[in-house]
Structure 1
Amino acid sequence: MLTYRVRPQNPQAHLFTVELVIRGPVTTALQLTMPAWCPGSYMIRDFARNVVCFAAQAADGRALTLTKLDKQTWELVPGQGCIAPLIVRYQVYAWEFTVRSAHLDCTHAYFNGPSLLLQVSGHADRPCRIELLPPPGERYRDWRVATSLRALDAAPWGFGAYQADDYADLIDHPVEMGTFELISFAVRSVPHAMAISGRQRCDLERLGQDLGRVCEQHAALFGELPIDRYLFLTAAVGDGYGGLEHRFSSSLLCTRDDLPQPAGEGADAAPTEGYRRFLALCSHEYFHLWHVTRIRPAALMTGTLSAEVHTRTLWAFEGITSYYDTLALVRSGCIDTDAYLQLLAETITRVMRTPGRLVQSLAQSSFDAWTKFYRQDDNAPNAIVSYYAKGALTALALDLTIRRDTQGRVCLDDVMRALWERYGRTGVGVPERGVEAMAAQVSGLALDGFFAQALDGTTDLDLAPLLAQVGIALRLRPATGPKDLGGVVARFAPGVAKPSLAIRLSAGCADAVIQNVLSGGAGERAGLAPGDLVVAVDGLRVTAENLERRVAAAGADTAIRLHLFRRDELMELTASPAPAAADTCELMRLDPVPAGAAPAQAAWLACLA
């Protein structure tokens, strides 16, 4: 057995101390490896860079030799007559506030297993014991522990010893230490909880009720709940967003204002935009309980945590999940149909505003996630497409296509249940084209043409006729401003294409600093570049707030003078703004409703519980 002792030893210096005890006779050299990435995060993160000291000794106190072999691997040589157990001690600097890594200060401690816990060669399949210890000092006497690990001698929400079946199980249970609010609820008699750390004001009762309804929808879709406990770990901050799934829990990062307001402040009102976003995040990570953590790509089941693993299937695992995360909100009754269509319109808009959708296919986006999607640069909008957003639209198109062509007898829900039966319940990995094959098998349809276009092509999905089948009209119009993401309308009104440079400015900056220059636009033709600071249009000073108005006022195809700084050099360029592209989605309920559209829409959005 391996024993890990983890203590937030020095919160002021953001240092965790870890003691690893390796029991049993050890006669040959061992390799100790810090993972380079964590499951669910398709980006090399090089956690070993945060290890700041390293030492090893035998049970009799004799120092043992440690040799670093590469950026993340150390070799431990026991030596002649070495007395077990071997003890390895190291410290980890923890100051990255994400759901994938580790963070420690005087207010809380958090770690995701791969960022803190070494893997020991030859011991990966052995049971593990982890002892979670409090920081030293009286100021931390009120701290508790939130984790989905199975307790050995630890009290509920307490410090002490926990257990894991093996190393893979050990690193699949993130840990939060500190003071936090707790919400408890049950789904199909299985205990669920959410621990919320950070300053916040939240209607805990409403959040618990809404989460229960959303979780029940997912359980109803798959027909079972394959867990005996579940924990949402939520960190509320001033501005943040992110999530990471685990087999019995998820880690979430949210903006504190996105949480539901306490009673007396609109508790019975419809969810705000921020609360919808948070519920969708919870829904997304909970859906992964089945789809990703148990229905898994075969490629990710055979790979290691030290190198990239490429697969073309991320569009299905993240894209289908992104489709169902908001669909579950309307099916559960947490939002109404118009709110759901608003979210759908915004997703369509985001995809349409990405010129890279015409360059990179969805399968390529999945395969290159390590090097492109998670390492975006200033040219990313022109070169890549999100397998989350376009993957969600592909799932929508697949669902509506199957419903239409089978006259409603089959839908994507049936495909997901079949994937669960064949792969999730058996532990067999999904092959590279396994999702496509299952969709064809369950529906009985010839879907090769659909997938050739949606996954391997770069033409836009033709969503309008599919949505019309469920009583919804779609149109694209020019944006009215940078914050216009489209939405639901009672009727379509004429759109006005304002003159535009087709650039995006850096968010949160008062000055007009260019972040992206979109391919084929007036800004690119004029020679603008990312990082340029535009200071004047036709001799008048501009800021981030008024640049767009200045450009629009000049009129389309009218030459304007731009003064800007590129690095520290003042430059003058001439641009001819062109009408803004029709890239903003509006959805409208059809009136009158076509024959059959009303029941088709009802079946699509129906509660499954």
Structure 2
Amino acid sequence: MKPIQYSIVPKDPAAHLFEVTVSVAEPAAQGQRFMLPVWIPGSYMVREFARNIVSIAARSEATGRKVALRKIDKHTWEAAPVQQGALTLTYQVYAWDMSVRAAHLDDDIGFFNGTSVFLLPLGHEAAECRVVIEAPAGEQYGDWRVATALCEARGTKRYGFGEYRAADYDELVDHPVTLGRFELGRFKAHGVSHDVVISGKVTSLDMPRLTRDLEQICATQIALFEPRTRRAPMERYVFMTLAVADGYGGLEHRASTALICNRADLPVRGKEAMTEGYRTYLGLCSHEYFHTWNVKRIKPAAFAPYDLKQENYTSLLWLFEGFTSYYDDLVLVRSGVITRDDYLMLVGKTVGGVLRGSGRRKQSVAESSFDAWVKYYRQDENASNAIVSYYTKGSLVALAFDLAIRAASEGRKSLDDVMRALWVRYGRDFYTGKAIGIGEHDVEPLIREATGVELGRLFTDAVDGTRDLPLAELLAPFGVKLEADGANGKPSLGVRVRAGADCTLAAVHDGSAARRGGLSAGDVLVAVDGLRVTGSNLESLLARYRAGDKVEVHAFRRDELRQTVVTLDAPEVARYRLAVDEAGPRRGLSPKDKLRKGWIGS
């Protein structure tokens, strides 16, 4: 099968248009069909990328004449048969999505995922793909560069415009591309080259610190999966970050990741303190890097291979996203990037976030995983009352399993052994001819096989049930206490307020004072006991009262003024706290100390 030839050029940055061509040397005799994916792996929502194709035409390379092209469904086109020679499609893609999922282009930055811009010639999924990435025309773009983990063809310099190659379409669309001006850092982790690309306007970036911290994180993860060989599953890795005023997100790929962060979260030269923002950014990097193993190579059977035409259902996202969310911060403390107390604080924050949502009592993490396409990725004002996050609760499930395995085996086995077993059985050879995925019911037997520990009821309750996890009990053998860390001292309406000048209710929690008083999401509070409410003073107004007090509330629903009397609830728990139960002076490490040291290193 001859290679598929692509080209992509930022044709009109001001209009946010890429021009793309795809040429098929051996088009189907009955008429070649082309399809653009409707979703991107790692983001489980149908996004209809074909809606951004604004013009498209086909021609015969042999005759130079136009070939008839008809659209047969929302994302598929069929070209009329050509008698001989190659068939080429030329089309323009509107790129104005500043996220990690699609494509963006303006005078400063270009970025694209292949699923947003590269049509797939059906029947040629396994063909080699060659793509020429062209520079935009104009002197103002003379200093633009290219950042991608795609393999450069002969004659193309790294970070330069030119031809890049992929073994097949799946590999092509699993390598995002950043264009433009960017800060560049480099480091090696166990011999593997890593690039750090920062786009957007940043000042005083401490790149040496960033690369140093990322090297520790990456080396720790490589050693976790391959403790003997220290062999990474890729020859080169690229961290691509777009720094903006307000943003957060990441998307994993097999040899790179696309990230968005607040520019204020990046490290600044001369300031060595570990800020909350920088810690969050490192956790994001750690999360996406862990996906290099867990989901990009260790996959559910439903993703082996991906069907990019429609939803791919699995009940295992709690394993792929939840376990990754557990390890992202755990790796930070194990690598020495953050302290033990920082890590315990992060776990406590996650516990509080999960326990504050009543949706955890209605939906299991397995159900949340399966319904990601229609619930988790399409959240509305009732989300906290109806769903549980397979990310956050999934991370607590991983924590519970890890603690249970370590305690039952007296520290000889852990969740690390489970991840290594998954890696050896499903991931290590995924792209070398053994592309199999994990069955929906394979996880519990594998845990038993890898550790010798029978989780039993804990597994069933954690994955398929809605009971709260017994974390305090599980943490006790490690000398760690879990407790509610006080309250905010103010009576509660039980609402979440949307940011803005007005006090608009973004969510009203189940069973809350607001719900009992007849308030709903979308209502705009205007007064409490005759005093004006704004988007910033609700808490200070409520601080004048005690739980059980009745207050008169005026609110607009649509354009209608409503009045109700609300009985305030007790103060909400502010957060949960994990703390090491420090014992008095003693010789040597206690059993609890040993278990904790094996878990988090201190």
Q: Determine if the alignment matches structure 1 residue 591 to structure 2 residue 582.
A: yes
> Which residue identity lines up with residue 328 of structure 1 in the other structure?
V
The share of aligned pairs that are identical, in percent, is 48
Q: Are residues 1:272 and 2:280 paired? A: no
CA deviations 1:489-545 (Å, max 9, x no partner) are xxxxxxx5x3211001003x1221100000011110101011111010011111222
- Normalised by the length of structure 2, the TM-score is 0.95
1:456 and 2:448 are equivalent in the alignment: no
Alignment of 1:70-469 (within 5 A): 70-79=73-82, 82-152=83-153, 153-201=155-203, 202-223=205-226, 224-262=231-269, 264=270, 266-267=271-272, 269=273, 271-427=274-430, 428-469=436-477
Q: Secondary structure at the match of 1:363?
A: helix
Provide the rounded CA distance (Å) in 1 between the counterparts of 2:305 and 2:150. 24
1:491 corresponding residue in structure 2: none
Match of 1:515 in 2: 506
Contact in 2 for aligned 1:378/1:530 (Cα 8 Å): yes
TM-superposition CA deviations, 1:70-120 (whole Å, max 9, x none) = 1111111124xx332111000000000111100000001100110111011
2:64 partner SS: coil
AA matched with 2:404: T
Contact 2:13 2:105 in 1 (8 A): yes
Q: Distance in 2 between matches of 1:582 and 1:328?
A: 28
SS, match of residue 554 in structure 1: coil
Give the letter for the 1:179 counterpart.
R
- Look up the equivalent residue of 2:41 and give its one-letter code: P
- Answer whether contact 2:508 2:514 (CA < 8 A) is retained: yes
- Asked if 2 retains the 8 angstrom alpha-carbon contact of 1:556 and 1:578, the reply is yes
CA RMSD of aligned residues (A): 1.4
Kindly indicate whether the alpha-carbon contact (under 8 Å) linking 1:478 and 1:580 is maintained by their aligned counterparts in 2. no
Moved more, 469-478 or 315-324: 469-478
Report the AA paired with residue 163 of structure 1.
Answer: R
Amino acid corresponding to residue 218 of structure 2 in structure 1:
C
- Write out per-residue CA displacement over residues 445-486 of structure 1, whole angstroms, 9 at most, x where no aligned residue: 222311111011111111012222111111125541xxxxxx
CA contact (8 A) 2:19 2:91 kept: yes
Amino acid at match of 1:161: E
Q: Is the 8 A contact 1:313 1:433 kept in 2?
A: no
Q: Which moved more, 1:593-602 or 1:379-388?
A: 593-602
CA shift, 1:549, in A, is: 2.7
Q: Counterpart of 2:562?
A: 571
Q: CA contact under 8 A between 2:5 and 2:129: conserved in structure 1?
A: yes
Per-residue deviation, 1:303: 4.2
Aligned-partner residue type, residue 473 of structure 1: K
Q: TM-score, normalised by structure 1?
A: 0.94
> What SS is found at the alignment partner of 1:499?
coil
How far the C-alpha of 1:548 sits from its partner, in A, is 2.1
Count matched residues: 584
5+ residue gaps in structure 2?
Answer: 431-435
What is residue 498 of structure 2 aligned with on the other side?
506
1:205-238 CA deviation, whole Å, 9 max, x = no partner? Answer: 0000000000000001001311111111111111
Secondary structure of the 1:305 match is coil
2-structure distance, mates of 1:513, 1:107: 35
Q: Structure 1 residue aligned with 2:544, among 546, 549, 553?
A: 553
1:56 to 2:74 alignment: no
Q: Which amino acid is 1:476 matched to?
A: A
- 2-side partners of 1:126 and 1:77: how far apart? 21
**Aligned counterparts of 1:278 and 1:547: Cα–Cα separation in 2:** 31
Deviation at 1:28, TM superposition (A): 1.9
Counterpart-to-counterpart distance in 1, 2:92 and 2:411: 58
CA distance in 1, matches of 2:543, 2:358: 22
Which 5+ residue runs of structure 1 have no aligned equivalent? Answer: 481-495
SS at match of 1:100: coil
Q: How does 1:533-544 map to 2 (within 5 A)?
A: 533-544=524-535
Partner Cα distance (1:581, 1:243) in 2: 31
Q: Find the aligned partners of 1:584 and 1:104 in 2 and give their Cα distance.
A: 41
Aligned residue in 1 for 2:433: none
Contact 1:502 1:580 in 2 (8 A): no
Q: Which amino acid aligns with 2:245?
A: G
**Distance between the aligned counterparts of 1:24 and 1:309, measured in 2?**
30
Offset, 1:583: 6.3
Letter in 2 for 1:94: A
The residue correspondences of 1:484-495 to structure 2 (distance < 5 A) are none
Partner of 1:490: none
Q: Deviation of residue 25 (structure 1)? A: 5.6
